[in-house]
C-alpha cells in the first residue's frame, strides 16, 4: 500500500505542532491586549457632554469640594449626579448669559433633565459602593485620577476586575487619612506602607477578596 502522505509532511507536521504554541501564544497575547485596550475599557476616553462641564475649572480654579455636587458619596452606593438646581445655585448669579450654559438654563426653565453621558460604566453584575470606600479612607483620586486636571471628564482606571483587586489585595498601599479623602492633590507619602498599615488597623479595613463582596 502506498504512503498516503508524502515524506515532506513529517517536517510540516513537526513545524505546525511547534508553531501552534506560537499561534496560541499570539492569540492569548492579542486577546489580552484587546481586553486591556482603551477601546474595550474606555479608559482615558474623553466623553462629549451636553454642557462642556470642566472639573478643572470648578475644582482647581474655584476650589469647589467634590461633595458639593456628588453629595451622596458618603451615604450611598452612588456618588450622585447633581440636579440642575445645583448648577443654577451659582449660575443664576454668574455667567447668566453664557451661550455654553444655555442647555442648563433651558433645563431649569422647562423642567427637563439634562442627559449627561456616563463616564464610568461598571458591569451590571458588579456592585460598587462609594460610601463603603470613602468612609474608610479611600480618596476620590485613587480611582478617578486627577479629576481636577480634566477639562472634560474621562475614565482614569480600566474598571477591570484585576484593577479593583489590586487594591482589595493590598489596601494599605492606597488608604489615606480620612480627612484627605477629598484632597485631589494628595500623593502617597514616602512611608505609605507603614502609615497605610496603621490606617488599615485603625479604620477596620478588611481585605475583602471573596466573590459576593461585589457580585450578588
Q: How far apart are CA 43 and CA 112, in angstroms?
A: 30
Q: Pick from 12, 24, 102, 123: which binds another protein (CB under 8 A)?
A: 123
Q: Pick from 13, 92, 96, 117: which binds another protein (CB under 8 A)?
A: 117
Site string for another protein, 74-103 (x = CB under 8 A): xxxxx-xxxxxxx-----------------
Q: Can you give the three-state secondary structure of 38-52, one letter per residue? A: HHHHCECCCCCCCCC
Q: How far apart are CA 41 and CA 159, in angstroms?
A: 7
215 lines the binding site for another protein (CB under 8 A): yes
136 lines the binding site for another protein (CB under 8 A): yes
Q: Which of 60, 70, 54 is nearest to 185 (CA)?
A: 60
| Dihedral sign from CA coordinates of 86, 90, 93, 99 | negative
Site string for another protein, 23-52 (x = CB under 8 A): -----------x----xx-x----x-----
# chain residues binding another protein, by CB under 8 A: 46
Q: How far apart are CA 188 and CA 107, in angstroms?
A: 41
Residues 196 and 172: beta-carbon distance below 8 Å: yes
Q: How far apart are CA 147 and CA 75, in angstroms?
A: 21
Residue 35 grid cell: 481586553
60 lines the binding site for another protein (CB under 8 A): no
Cβ 83 to another protein, closest distance in Å? 4
Q: For another protein, which stretch binds (CB under 8 A), given 7-15, 57-65, 130-138, 194-202?
A: 130-138
The residues that touch another protein, with contacts defined as CB under 8 A, are 34, 39-40, 42, 47, 72, 74-78, 80-86, 107-108, 111-118, 121, 123-125, 127, 129, 131-132, 135-136, 204, 206, 210-213, 215-216
Amino acid at each position: 500500500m502506498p504512503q498516503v502522505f508524502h515524506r515532506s509532511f513529517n517536517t510540516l507536521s513537526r513545524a505546525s505542532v511547534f508553531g501552534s504554541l506560537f499561534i496560541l501564544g499570539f492569540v492569548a497575547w492579542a486577546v489580552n491586549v484587546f481586553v486591556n485596550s482603551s477601546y474595550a475599557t474606555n479608559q482615558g476616553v474623553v466623553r462629549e457632554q451636553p454642557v462642556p462641564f470642566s472639573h478643572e475649572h470648578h475644582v482647581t480654579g474655584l476650589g469647589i469640594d467634590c461633595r458639593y455636587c456628588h453629595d451622596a458619596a458618603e451615604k450611598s452606593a452612588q456618588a450622585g449626579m447633581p440636579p440642575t438646581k445645583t448648577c443654577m445655585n451659582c449660575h443664576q448669579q454668574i455667567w447668566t448669559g453664557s451661550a455654553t450654559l444655555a442647555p442648563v438654563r433651558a433645563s431649569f426653565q422647562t423642567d427637563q433633565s439634562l442627559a449627561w453621558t456616563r463616564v464610568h460604566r461598571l458591569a451590571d453584575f458588579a456592585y460598587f459602593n462609594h460610601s463603603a470606600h470613602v468612609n474608610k479612607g479611600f480618596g476620590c483620586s485613587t480611582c478617578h485620577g486627577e479629576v481636577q486636571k480634566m477639562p472634560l471628564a474621562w475614565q482614569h482606571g480600566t474598571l477591570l476586575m484585576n484593577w479593583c483587586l489590586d487594591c482589595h489585595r493590598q489596601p494599605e498601599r492606597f488608604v489615606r487619612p480620612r480627612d484627605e479623602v477629598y484632597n485631589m492633590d494628595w500623593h502617597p507619602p514616602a512611608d505609605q506602607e507603614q502609615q497605610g498599615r496603621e490606617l488599615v488597623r485603625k479604620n477596620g479595613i478588611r481585605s475583602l477578596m471573596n466573590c459576593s463582596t461585589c457580585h450578588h
